[in-house]
Structure 1
Amino acid sequence: MTTVITFGTFDLFHIGHLNILNRASELGQHLVVGVSSDKLNAHKKGRLPLYPQTDRMKIIQSLKCVDTVFLEESLALKTDYILRYSADILVMGSDWQGRFDHFSSLCQVIYFPRTPSVSTTAIVETIKGT
């Protein structure tokens, strides 16, 4: 069985999120998704997500393409997560191109192109009217 793992915030869930998760699930028989914790997001983005981690995890778990969801609590634990879930493939968006290549000794690393003209940051800015 091929296990695929990916990570993300998945705040303001949109078609770009769905596209990457569906494409990732097609690479194997089991899709594992790490949802970034509120604390991790505050640290790496300087703000809390609009939706709390429990809600974001429920949204991701409800998708038929997703088999396992866990809370990603630290960027430094990615190796542990890959090993814990016996991931064969790590999938990330192309905006992270090259930044996860060092995991290629543990699993295959694949970067998918982002869905054009869709981003949570842009949606937030539109809502704020800036």
Structure 2
Amino acid sequence: MTAPRRVITFGTFDVFHAGHLRLLERAAALGDHLTVGISSDELNARKKGRRPVYPLADRMGIVAALRCVDEVFVEHSLDAKRDYVLDRRADLLVMGDDWTGRFDALGDVCQLAYLPRTPSVSTTAIIEQIRAS
């Protein structure tokens, strides 16, 4: 019998959409336990230059309610990925392919997978479309 495979992924998950769901479902299918780090409002502001539309508590509630997600926590820093992986005993870090190569240095503590993004689905594009309406 093989040991359970713990998967971890990260994101803002603002204005939750089908691309988010597909990424989480594909990540969950790679293991037995999916942990999701959700960017704090402050981290998102630093990372994307804007605060999320939905506050952190709402985004965490939405993601935690998904069948494919076992655990959520707040991600405060992009630079703490190694600590998050180790603290949660993750075997596999899954990220969207827009991050390809960015976390390769973590290959000494876990496996890495960069999954393709869902074509034509983007939180930024959705927000821009809403603002233009």
Structure 1 segments, 4+ long, off by >2 Å, are none
Q: Point out the more displaced range, 13-22 or 99-108.
A: 99-108
- 2:11 paired residue number: 8
> Which secondary structure does the structure 2 equivalent of 1:33 belong to?
strand
Which residue does 1:74 correspond to in 2?
A: 77
Q: Percent identity?
A: 62
- Shift in Å, 1:75: 1.1
Q: 3-state SS of the aligned residue for 1:71? A: strand
1:6 is aligned with what amino acid?
T
CA RMSD of aligned residues (A): 0.9
Match of residue 100 from structure 1: 103
Q: Matched residues in 1 for 2:127 and 2:107: separation?
A: 34
Structure 2 gap segments, 5+ residues each: none
Distance 2:118 2:28 in 1: 16
Q: TM-score, normalised by structure 2?
A: 0.96
Size of the alignment, in residue pairs? 130
Indicate the residue corresponding to 1:90 in structure 2.
Answer: 93
Shift of 1:44: 1.2
Of residues 113, 119, 123 in structure 1, which corresponds to 2:122?
119
Gaps of 5+ in 1: none
**Normalized against structure 1, the TM-score is what?**
0.98
Deviations along 1:73-111, whole A, 9 cap, x unmatched?
Answer: 111211110000000000000111111111111101100
